[in-house]
Protein backbone atom coordinates (compact mmCIF):
# COMPACT_ATOMS: atom_id res chain seq x y z
CA UNK A 1 0.00 0.00 0.00
CA UNK A 2 1.25 3.48 -0.89
CA UNK A 3 1.65 5.42 2.36
CA UNK A 4 0.39 8.59 0.62
CA UNK A 5 -2.90 6.84 -0.09
CA UNK A 6 -3.17 5.68 3.51
CA UNK A 7 -2.43 9.21 4.80
CA UNK A 8 -5.01 10.71 2.44
CA UNK A 9 -7.62 8.17 3.52
CA UNK A 10 -7.08 8.89 7.24
CA UNK A 11 -7.10 12.66 6.72
CA UNK A 12 -10.34 12.63 4.70
CA UNK A 13 -11.96 10.35 7.29
CA UNK A 14 -10.98 12.74 10.09
CA UNK A 15 -11.98 16.00 8.32
CA UNK A 16 -14.98 14.72 6.37
CA UNK A 17 -14.42 16.68 3.14
CA UNK A 18 -12.00 16.56 0.25
CA UNK A 19 -11.47 20.32 0.29
CA UNK A 20 -10.35 20.48 3.93
CA UNK A 21 -8.16 17.38 3.54
CA UNK A 22 -6.52 18.90 0.43
CA UNK A 23 -5.64 22.06 2.40
CA UNK A 24 -4.10 20.07 5.25
CA UNK A 25 -2.10 17.79 2.93
CA UNK A 26 -1.10 20.68 0.59
CA UNK A 27 -2.29 18.92 -2.57
CA UNK A 28 -4.92 19.79 -5.19
CA UNK A 29 -8.43 18.42 -4.71
CA UNK A 30 -8.47 16.45 -8.01
CA UNK A 31 -5.19 14.72 -7.03
CA UNK A 32 -6.58 13.90 -3.60
CA UNK A 33 -9.80 12.46 -5.06
CA UNK A 34 -7.72 10.39 -7.48
CA UNK A 35 -5.69 8.95 -4.58
CA UNK A 36 -8.90 7.87 -2.83
CA UNK A 37 -10.14 6.18 -6.03
CA UNK A 38 -6.78 4.46 -6.51
CA UNK A 39 -6.88 3.12 -2.95
CA UNK A 40 -10.44 1.84 -3.38
CA UNK A 41 -9.45 0.10 -6.60
CA UNK A 42 -6.37 -1.42 -4.98
CA UNK A 43 -8.40 -2.76 -2.06
CA UNK A 44 -11.48 -3.49 -4.16
CA UNK A 45 -13.60 -1.82 -1.48
CA UNK A 46 -15.74 1.27 -1.27
CA UNK A 47 -14.41 3.38 1.57
CA UNK A 48 -16.68 6.47 1.57
CA UNK A 49 -20.32 7.36 0.95
CA UNK A 50 -21.18 10.92 -0.05
CA UNK A 51 -23.83 12.41 2.25
CA UNK A 52 -24.56 15.98 1.16
CA UNK A 53 -21.25 17.77 0.97
CA UNK A 54 -19.52 15.37 3.33
CA UNK A 55 -17.80 12.04 2.88
CA UNK A 56 -18.84 9.40 5.43
CA UNK A 57 -16.96 6.16 6.01
CA UNK A 58 -18.60 2.97 4.87
CA UNK A 59 -18.64 0.00 7.21
CA UNK A 60 -15.56 -1.39 5.51
CA UNK A 61 -13.88 2.00 5.69
CA UNK A 62 -14.48 2.22 9.44
CA UNK A 63 -12.84 -1.15 9.96
CA UNK A 64 -9.79 -0.17 7.90
CA UNK A 65 -9.33 3.25 9.51
CA UNK A 66 -7.65 1.90 12.65
CA UNK A 67 -5.32 -0.30 10.62
CA UNK A 68 -4.26 2.61 8.42
CA UNK A 69 -3.60 4.78 11.46
CA UNK A 70 -1.42 2.02 12.91
CA UNK A 71 0.41 1.74 9.59
CA UNK A 72 1.16 5.47 9.54
CA UNK A 73 2.31 5.41 13.17
CA UNK A 74 4.62 2.52 12.38
CA UNK A 75 6.04 4.32 9.35
CA UNK A 76 6.61 7.42 11.47
CA UNK A 77 8.39 5.36 14.13
CA UNK A 78 10.63 3.80 11.48
CA UNK A 79 11.50 7.25 10.19
CA UNK A 80 12.39 8.46 13.68
CA UNK A 81 14.45 5.32 14.27
CA UNK A 82 16.34 5.83 11.01
CA UNK A 83 17.05 9.43 12.00
CA UNK A 84 18.50 8.25 15.31
CA UNK A 85 20.66 5.70 13.50
CA UNK A 86 21.94 8.40 11.13
CA UNK A 87 22.98 10.46 14.15
CA UNK A 88 24.86 7.43 15.45
CA UNK A 89 23.53 7.65 19.00
CA UNK A 90 21.03 4.79 18.97
CA UNK A 91 21.19 1.05 18.36
CA UNK A 92 22.36 -2.26 19.77
CA UNK A 93 26.08 -2.85 20.29
CA UNK A 94 27.30 -6.41 20.87
CA UNK A 95 30.65 -6.76 22.63
CA UNK A 96 32.50 -9.97 23.54
CA UNK A 97 35.02 -9.80 26.39
CA UNK A 98 36.85 -12.03 28.82
CA UNK A 99 35.30 -12.64 32.27
CA UNK A 100 38.11 -10.76 34.01
CA UNK A 101 37.75 -7.75 31.70
CA UNK A 102 34.00 -7.72 32.26
CA UNK A 103 34.50 -7.85 36.02
CA UNK A 104 37.40 -5.42 36.30
CA UNK A 105 36.56 -2.91 33.57
CA UNK A 106 33.21 -3.18 31.78
CA UNK A 107 31.18 -3.49 34.98
CA UNK A 108 32.27 0.02 35.95
CA UNK A 109 32.36 1.47 32.45
CA UNK A 110 28.87 0.60 31.23
CA UNK A 111 27.09 3.08 33.51
CA UNK A 112 29.28 5.90 32.23
CA UNK A 113 28.58 4.89 28.65
CA UNK A 114 24.83 4.71 29.26
CA UNK A 115 24.80 8.23 30.68
CA UNK A 116 26.34 9.60 27.49
CA UNK A 117 24.55 7.28 25.03
CA UNK A 118 21.23 6.34 26.65
CA UNK A 119 19.80 5.08 23.34
CA UNK A 120 22.62 2.59 22.68
CA UNK A 121 21.99 -0.79 24.32
CA UNK A 122 25.23 -2.65 24.95
CA UNK A 123 24.94 -6.42 25.00
CA UNK A 124 27.99 -8.00 26.64
CA UNK A 125 28.89 -11.60 25.76
CA UNK A 126 31.39 -13.58 27.82
CA UNK A 127 34.17 -15.18 25.77
CA UNK A 128 37.02 -16.97 27.51
CA UNK A 129 39.12 -18.03 24.52
CA UNK A 130 40.06 -15.89 21.52
CA UNK A 131 38.81 -18.65 19.23
CA UNK A 132 35.30 -18.01 20.60
CA UNK A 133 35.58 -14.26 19.95
CA UNK A 134 37.10 -14.85 16.53
CA UNK A 135 34.21 -17.07 15.47
CA UNK A 136 31.63 -14.52 16.58
CA UNK A 137 33.42 -11.72 14.72
CA UNK A 138 33.63 -13.76 11.52
CA UNK A 139 29.94 -14.73 11.71
CA UNK A 140 28.89 -11.14 12.36
CA UNK A 141 27.36 -12.02 15.74
CA UNK A 142 29.25 -9.23 17.54
CA UNK A 143 30.55 -5.80 16.62
CA UNK A 144 33.58 -5.73 18.93
CA UNK A 145 35.78 -8.31 20.62
CA UNK A 146 38.26 -7.64 23.44
CA UNK A 147 41.50 -9.53 23.96
CA UNK A 148 45.25 -9.03 24.08
CA UNK A 149 46.68 -7.32 21.02
CA UNK A 150 49.01 -10.20 20.26
CA UNK A 151 46.22 -12.70 19.56
CA UNK A 152 46.00 -11.33 15.99
CA UNK A 153 49.09 -11.49 13.82
CA UNK A 154 50.19 -8.11 12.38
CA UNK A 155 49.81 -9.41 8.81
CA UNK A 156 46.19 -10.52 9.36
CA UNK A 157 44.25 -8.06 7.20
CA UNK A 158 40.82 -9.18 8.38
CA UNK A 159 40.73 -7.24 11.63
CA UNK A 160 41.23 -3.69 12.75
CA UNK A 161 41.89 -2.83 16.38
CA UNK A 162 41.96 -0.08 18.96
CA UNK A 163 44.87 -0.61 21.41
CA UNK A 164 44.10 -0.01 25.07
CA UNK A 165 46.49 -0.07 28.03
CA UNK A 166 49.18 -2.62 28.82
CA UNK A 167 48.61 -5.65 31.05
CA UNK A 168 51.48 -6.89 33.22
CA UNK A 169 51.97 -10.42 34.43
CA UNK A 170 51.77 -10.57 38.23
CA UNK A 171 52.79 -13.25 40.71
CA UNK A 172 50.56 -13.55 43.78
CA UNK A 173 51.25 -15.71 46.83
CA UNK A 174 50.17 -16.14 50.42
CA UNK A 175 53.56 -15.32 51.92
CA UNK A 176 55.92 -12.38 51.35
CA UNK A 177 58.77 -14.63 50.24
CA UNK A 178 58.61 -13.54 46.62
CA UNK A 179 58.72 -9.81 47.17
CA UNK A 180 61.72 -8.46 45.31
CA UNK A 181 63.11 -5.01 44.83
CA UNK A 182 60.49 -2.47 43.80
CA UNK A 183 57.81 -5.15 43.93
CA UNK A 184 59.22 -7.19 41.04
CA UNK A 185 60.73 -10.65 40.62
CA UNK A 186 62.74 -12.15 37.80
CA UNK A 187 61.08 -15.04 36.03
CA UNK A 188 64.16 -17.23 36.65
CA UNK A 189 63.54 -16.94 40.41
CA UNK A 190 60.08 -18.48 39.97
CA UNK A 191 61.44 -21.75 38.58
CA UNK A 192 61.47 -23.64 41.89
CA UNK A 193 58.13 -22.31 43.10
CA UNK A 194 54.88 -24.29 42.66
CA UNK A 195 53.11 -22.29 39.98
CA UNK A 196 49.38 -21.88 39.44
CA UNK A 197 48.85 -20.75 35.85
CA UNK A 198 46.19 -20.18 33.22
CA UNK A 199 45.92 -22.81 30.51
CA UNK A 200 47.56 -22.42 27.13
CA UNK A 201 44.44 -20.97 25.46
CA UNK A 202 45.44 -17.65 27.12
CA UNK A 203 48.00 -15.50 25.34
CA UNK A 204 49.38 -14.38 28.73
CA UNK A 205 50.22 -18.03 29.50
CA UNK A 206 51.93 -18.48 26.15
CA UNK A 207 53.91 -15.30 26.79
CA UNK A 208 54.97 -16.66 30.19
CA UNK A 209 56.04 -19.99 28.66
CA UNK A 210 58.02 -18.25 25.94
CA UNK A 211 59.86 -16.15 28.54
CA UNK A 212 60.68 -19.32 30.50
CA UNK A 213 62.14 -20.95 27.39
CA UNK A 214 64.24 -17.89 26.60
CA UNK A 215 65.49 -17.82 30.19
CA UNK A 216 66.39 -21.51 29.93
CA UNK A 217 64.16 -22.60 32.81
CA UNK A 218 61.42 -25.16 33.17
CA UNK A 219 58.46 -23.80 35.12
CA UNK A 220 57.18 -25.91 38.01
CA UNK A 221 53.50 -25.84 37.01
CA UNK A 222 51.36 -27.66 39.57
CA UNK A 223 47.90 -26.47 38.51
CA UNK A 224 46.22 -25.00 35.43
CA UNK A 225 42.85 -23.30 35.12
CA UNK A 226 40.79 -21.23 32.70
CA UNK A 227 39.63 -19.02 35.58
CA UNK A 228 42.07 -16.55 37.17
CA UNK A 229 40.09 -16.44 40.44
CA UNK A 230 40.51 -20.19 40.83
CA UNK A 231 44.27 -19.65 40.76
CA UNK A 232 44.01 -16.84 43.32
CA UNK A 233 41.88 -18.98 45.64
CA UNK A 234 44.47 -21.75 45.41
CA UNK A 235 47.24 -19.28 46.18
CA UNK A 236 45.29 -17.92 49.14
CA UNK A 237 45.16 -21.45 50.55
CA UNK A 238 48.92 -21.79 50.20
CA UNK A 239 49.03 -24.16 47.22
CA UNK A 240 51.45 -22.11 45.17
CA UNK A 241 52.10 -18.87 43.32
CA UNK A 242 49.34 -17.63 40.99
CA UNK A 243 50.47 -16.07 37.71
CA UNK A 244 47.70 -13.74 36.53
CA UNK A 245 47.34 -10.59 34.39
CA UNK A 246 47.07 -7.20 36.07
CA UNK A 247 43.60 -6.81 34.51
CA UNK A 248 42.29 -9.25 37.14
CA UNK A 249 40.97 -7.98 40.48
CA UNK A 250 43.20 -9.38 43.25
CA UNK A 251 42.32 -6.96 46.06
CA UNK A 252 39.71 -9.31 47.56
CA UNK A 253 42.41 -11.89 48.29
CA UNK A 254 44.98 -11.44 51.11
CA UNK A 255 47.91 -12.06 48.78
CA UNK A 256 51.32 -10.51 48.23
CA UNK A 257 51.71 -9.32 44.65
CA UNK A 258 54.82 -8.69 42.58
CA UNK A 259 55.40 -7.90 38.93
CA UNK A 260 57.08 -10.63 36.87
CA UNK A 261 60.11 -9.39 34.94
CA UNK A 262 62.58 -10.84 32.48
CA UNK A 263 65.95 -9.13 32.41
CA UNK A 264 64.48 -6.32 34.46
CA UNK A 265 61.70 -5.67 31.94
CA UNK A 266 58.06 -6.38 32.84
CA UNK A 267 56.31 -9.20 30.98
CA UNK A 268 53.41 -7.28 29.45
CA UNK A 269 50.98 -7.20 26.56
CA UNK A 270 48.68 -4.52 25.20
CA UNK A 271 44.95 -4.97 25.49
CA UNK A 272 42.91 -4.16 22.39
CA UNK A 273 39.40 -4.09 20.97
CA UNK A 274 39.00 -5.78 17.59
CA UNK A 275 36.44 -5.61 14.80
CA UNK A 276 36.06 -7.20 11.37
CA UNK A 277 37.15 -4.70 8.70
CA UNK A 278 35.01 -6.47 6.13
CA UNK A 279 31.85 -5.34 7.92
CA UNK A 280 30.70 -1.78 8.42
CA UNK A 281 31.02 -0.60 12.01
CA UNK A 282 28.21 1.61 13.41
CA UNK A 283 29.37 5.06 14.45
CA UNK A 284 28.22 4.39 18.01
CA UNK A 285 30.63 1.42 18.09
CA UNK A 286 33.52 3.76 17.28
CA UNK A 287 32.35 6.10 20.02
CA UNK A 288 32.23 3.14 22.41
CA UNK A 289 35.89 2.33 21.65
CA UNK A 290 36.92 5.94 22.24
CA UNK A 291 35.14 6.09 25.59
CA UNK A 292 36.46 2.70 26.64
CA UNK A 293 40.05 3.71 25.86
CA UNK A 294 39.60 6.84 27.97
CA UNK A 295 38.14 4.84 30.86
CA UNK A 296 40.87 2.18 30.73
CA UNK A 297 43.54 4.89 30.96
CA UNK A 298 41.92 6.04 34.20
CA UNK A 299 41.52 2.69 35.96
CA UNK A 300 44.42 0.54 34.74
CA UNK A 301 46.14 -1.42 36.04
CA UNK A 302 43.29 -3.04 37.93
CA UNK A 303 45.81 -4.76 40.24
CA UNK A 304 49.23 -3.45 41.24
CA UNK A 305 52.23 -4.86 43.13
CA UNK A 306 51.88 -4.80 46.91
CA UNK A 307 53.54 -2.00 48.82
CA UNK A 308 56.95 -3.03 50.24
Round to the nearest angstrom and report the end-to-end CA distance of the chain: 76
> Rounded to an integer, what distance in angstroms lies between the CA atom of residue 263 and that of residue 126?
35
**What DSSP designation does 104 have?**
I
CB 275 within 8 A of CB 160: yes
> CB–CB of 209/200 below 8 Å?
yes
Confidence of residue 155 (pLDDT cuts 50, 70, 90): confident
pLDDT tens string 175-220: 765 556 678 999 988 878 999 999 998 888 999 999 999 989 999 9
- For the segment 288-304, the average pLDDT, to the nearest whole number, is 95
Task: Give the CA distances from residue 237 to residues 52, 175, 178, 187, in Å, rounded to whole numbers and listed in that order.
Answer: 93, 10, 16, 22
Distance CA 134, CA 288 (A): 20
Residues in contact with 130: Cβ distance below 8 Å, sequence separation at least 6, in sequence order: 147, 151, 201, 203
Q: pLDDT digits over 79-109, tens only? A: 766 765 666 667 889 999 999 999 999 999 9
Amino acid sequence: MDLRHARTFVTVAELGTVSRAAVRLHIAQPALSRQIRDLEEELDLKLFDRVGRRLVLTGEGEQLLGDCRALLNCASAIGERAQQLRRGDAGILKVAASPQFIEGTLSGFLDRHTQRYPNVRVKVIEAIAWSDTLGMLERGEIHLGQNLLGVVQPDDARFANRPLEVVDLLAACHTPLLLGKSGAIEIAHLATQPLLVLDTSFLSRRTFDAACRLAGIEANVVFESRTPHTLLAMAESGHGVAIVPSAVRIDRYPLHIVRVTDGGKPLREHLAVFWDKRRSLPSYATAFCDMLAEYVREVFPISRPSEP
